[in-house]
Every structure is written in C-alpha cells, then in structure tokens.
Amino acid sequence: PDGFSWTGFVTLAADGKGGYVLLFRECAREPAFELDLAPYVAADSVETLAGSGMARLDGTKLRVEIPESLGYLWLKVK
C-alpha cells in the first residue's frame, strides 16, 4: 500500500466455494475498483457485512465502489 491506491485481503473457505473480502480505498482518485476472484474463490453472490459503498459480481469479477477516501468494505462471497 502506498496511501494512494486500493488494498485489502481475501480469505477462503476450506472448500474454495466462498470466503471474505476486506477492501480499503486509500486516497485513490477513482471511487471504483475491480478484483478478479477467479484465482482465489468461486462465488455466485456477495453480501456486504460492514463499511459503506456497494459491491456486485459480474462473472468472476468483483466490482466495488466506495464513495469516500479512506473507506472500506467487508464482504462475504459465496
């Protein structure tokens, strides 16, 4: 992390069919970010557990939007 990008963590369920995603928007100019989940986890749905913003799945791509700098989203994918 450099303070001007997006960063986060992905955890996996033992069977690889779900997990959690924690994303932080540092001082990034763009409020939107895309993460390809294919290398990490197979998911069909996403649920926001905490934070502000929105998340949706588009195939294997997780598309998120966090409106404010220094915001976060904690997501459950399954």
* Per-residue pLDDT at 22: 97
pLDDT, residue 65, reads 98
pLDDT at 16: 77
- pTM confidence score: 0.92
Tokens of 44: 């069909």
Planar angle of CA 61, 71, 78, nearest 5 degrees: 35
Looking at residue 34, what is its pLDDT? 97
Instruction: Name the residue type at position 64.
Output: V
The parts of the chain modelled with pLDDT lower than 70 are 1
Q: How far is the C-alpha of 38 from the C-alpha of 50, rounded, in Å?
A: 23
Q: CA 39, CA 51: separation in Å to the nearest integer?
A: 25
- The residue count of the chain comes to 78
State the CB neighbour count (10 A cutoff) for residue 50. 9
